[in-house]
Chain A
């Protein structure tokens, strides 16, 4: 009984915080509402006794959202907090796309003939998951793993082609800038 209640409460909270992502006027709040939504989904997994996947979702999503917040705010002129900002752009297009995606996903969920559970409830879902990854899903995991690893190495190489500090900090192409102190900026080789 309490599982059913918990399931629905968490489901409503997950969707509600998902909607709230687009209703707030600050980058930071949007990011962490999204995280809240993921955490409620992780709660769903725990309720379904998928302990490992639940804990892993908390773990991965928290780290991911924290890093995402850093990147988003790093690239924004005004990360909100000082000035409110709209979280929705290209409203009509966004609406069309999101409605289409929602309908497609919902239809898939309702229409697809889900297989009946053949085996009894596994005594240890974590063990079963490990077996699946290390046996028949091994190839997929290997490909994904190598792909991710290659991306990480490539990104690191691009980022560290030169140092970050000292003379490397100078703008590579000093251009006239409206910034009040632009004339003070150092050219790379003047020291």
Chain B
């Protein structure tokens, strides 16, 4: 075996995956996260660092368009696969390294880039006219709710306008987080994502592990004790407190830090059913107001702290909700 092929062999034993997830396709998404964690694979932050584009669940037209654009941005060699449910996840992923190794250049459409929009100008807080850039957040972004696109106008680092668009909600979309066990797991999933955005990756991974253990039918008491320990560490962390306290306080829900503490406390007490929280449509309605005037990293934290499950939008998408 010559050097190049040895290099190639080693190169693709642990591919990086970029996920395009349909709302409600949480089952296969969790299976995917679990597989990558256990096998030492990574989820890519962007197309530039991905070996495979994985479409999870049934993508509608706008989400397919997103996947199409991303697929053209993936550096070659690259593989594209789609997964309908959690059953086939392990098998499909296990074949991935071999598919990457045997990849040969084909006559694909060469690099085509979506042209980024030019900056516009608008009055800023001091009444001066300054640049405004329109930046879409999502639908493919680390720790981001599936099917959500938040289009923001940024002046410098400050959001001056935001608009919610929903993608991928079809007549067949069903929420995944139903029943008592899954409700508890949902809290851990939300905590994992918020901690992930806050950059506390070790703790985020811990939440994912406990979430998967809960879903796999792990004994409640063990998970509860573990979550209790974790909750105490999260509550006591001064760095995390400085990051989350006072962010997006909502009536009845508290600020981002309290929401996170409450999620973990609920799981530790093993009682989640009683607190349903406001419907997602209501949260999406207030979202543009809540993120107004926020800095970009704060926007990310706020969105993660609201635990938005787009699949709970009951009626199919009608061009998205817009609010300003």
A and B touch in their complex, CB below 8 angstroms: yes
Q: Which residues of A contact B (CB under 8 A)?
A: 74-78, 82-83, 164-175, 177, 179-186, 191
Please classify how large the interface on chain B is, using the bins under 10, 10 to 19, 20 to 34, 35 or more: 20 to 34
Given contacts A82-B118, A181-B153, A191-B289, contact A174 B123 (CB under 8 A): yes
Q: Which of A74, A78, A180, A183 contacts B118 (CB 8 A)?
A: A78
Complex alpha-carbon distance, A179 and B124, angstroms: 12
Q: Which of A75, A168, A182 contacts B125 (CB 8 A)?
A: A168
Query: Is B65 interfacial (CB 8 A cutoff)?
Result: no
Q: Which of B118, B121, B158, B160 contacts A164 (CB 8 A)?
A: B158
Q: How many whole Å from A128's CB to the nearest CB in chain B?
A: 45
Given contacts A74-B156, A78-B119, contact A185 B293 (CB under 8 A): no
Contact residues, B256-312 vs A (CB, 8 A)? 289, 292-295, 298
Report chain B residues within 8 Å CB of A168.
125, 293
Q: Which of B116, B160, B294, B295 contacts A185 (CB 8 A)?
A: B160
Q: Report yes or no: B122 in contact with A179, Cβ–Cβ below 8 A.
A: yes
Q: Report yes or no: B324 in contact with A181, Cβ–Cβ below 8 A.
A: yes
Q: How many whole Å from B242's CB to the nearest CB in chain A?
A: 15
Complex alpha-carbon distance, A172 and B128, angstroms: 9
Query: Is B126 interfacial (CB 8 A cutoff)?
Result: yes
Interface centre among A77, A83, A191 (most CB of B within 10 A): A77
Q: How many whole Å from A77's CB to the nearest CB in chain B?
A: 6
Q: Report yes or no: B158 in contact with A169, Cβ–Cβ below 8 A.
A: yes
Interface centre among B120, B123, B158, B324 (most CB of A within 10 A): B123
Q: Report yes or no: B122 in contact with A170, Cβ–Cβ below 8 A.
A: no
Query: Is B212 interfacial (CB 8 A cutoff)?
Result: no
Complex alpha-carbon distance, A83 and B119, angstroms: 11
Report chain B residues within 8 Å CB of A167.
293
7 additional A-B pairs beyond A169-B125, A169-B293, beta carbons within 8 Å, are: A165-B298, A168-B293, A169-B155, A180-B120, A182-B122, A183-B324, A185-B123
B162 to A, closest residue via Cβ: A184
Contact residues, B149-170 vs A (CB, 8 A)? 153, 155-156, 158-161, 163
Q: Report yes or no: A179 in contact with B158, Cβ–Cβ below 8 A.
A: no
Complex alpha-carbon distance, A170 and B158, angstroms: 10
Report chain A residues within 8 Å CB of B123.
171, 173-175, 177, 185
Q: Report yes or no: A184 in contact with B122, Cβ–Cβ below 8 A.
A: no
Report chain B residues within 8 Å CB of A83.
118
Q: Report yes or no: B121 in contact with A169, Cβ–Cβ below 8 A.
A: no
Q: Report yes or no: B160 in contact with A165, Cβ–Cβ below 8 A.
A: no
Query: Is B132 interfacial (CB 8 A cutoff)?
Result: yes
Query: Is B179 interfacial (CB 8 A cutoff)?
Result: no
Q: Report yes or no: A170 in contact with B125, Cβ–Cβ below 8 A.
A: yes
Query: Is B127 interfacial (CB 8 A cutoff)?
Result: yes
Report chain A residues within 8 Å CB of B126.
172
Q: Report yes or no: A165 in contact with B294, Cβ–Cβ below 8 A.
A: yes
Complex alpha-carbon distance, A166 and B295, angstroms: 9
Query: Is B85 interfacial (CB 8 A cutoff)?
Result: no
A179 to B, closest residue via Cβ: B122
Q: How many whole Å from B249's CB to the nearest CB in chain A?
A: 12
Q: Report yes or no: A169 in contact with B132, Cβ–Cβ below 8 A.
A: no
Complex alpha-carbon distance, A186 and B324, angstroms: 8
Given contacts A78-B118, A169-B125, A175-B123, contact A181 B292 (CB under 8 A): no
Report chain A residues within 8 Å CB of B119.
77-78
Query: Is B49 interfacial (CB 8 A cutoff)?
Result: no
Q: How many whole Å from B320's CB to the nearest CB in chain A?
A: 15
Report chain B residues within 8 Å CB of A82.
116, 118
Q: How many whole Å from A151's CB to the nearest CB in chain B?
A: 20
Q: How many whole Å from B319's CB to the nearest CB in chain A?
A: 17
Q: Report yes or no: A169 in contact with B118, Cβ–Cβ below 8 A.
A: no
Complex alpha-carbon distance, A75 and B128, angstroms: 10
Report chain A residues within 8 Å CB of B118.
78, 82-83
Query: Is B131 interfacial (CB 8 A cutoff)?
Result: yes
A165 to B, closest residue via Cβ: B293
Report chain B residues within 8 Å CB of A76.
131
Query: Residues 167-209 of chain B: 1 if any A CB is under 8 Å from the residue's CB, otherwise 0?
Result: 0000000000000000000000000000000000000000000
Complex alpha-carbon distance, A164 and B294, angstroms: 9
Given contacts A171-B125, A184-B324, A185-B161, contact A165 B295 (CB under 8 A): yes
Q: Report yes or no: B125 in contact with A179, Cβ–Cβ below 8 A.
A: no
Report chain A residues within 8 Å CB of B155.
169
Complex alpha-carbon distance, A97 and B172, angstroms: 72
Q: Report yes or no: B292 in contact with A169, Cβ–Cβ below 8 A.
A: yes
Q: Report yes or no: A181 in contact with B161, Cβ–Cβ below 8 A.
A: yes
Report chain A residues within 8 Å CB of B132.
179
Q: Report yes or no: B156 in contact with A186, Cβ–Cβ below 8 A.
A: no
Q: List 6 A-B contacts (CB under 8 A).
A: A74-B131, A165-B158, A168-B125, A181-B153, A184-B324, A185-B123
Q: How many whole Å from B288's CB to the nearest CB in chain A?
A: 9
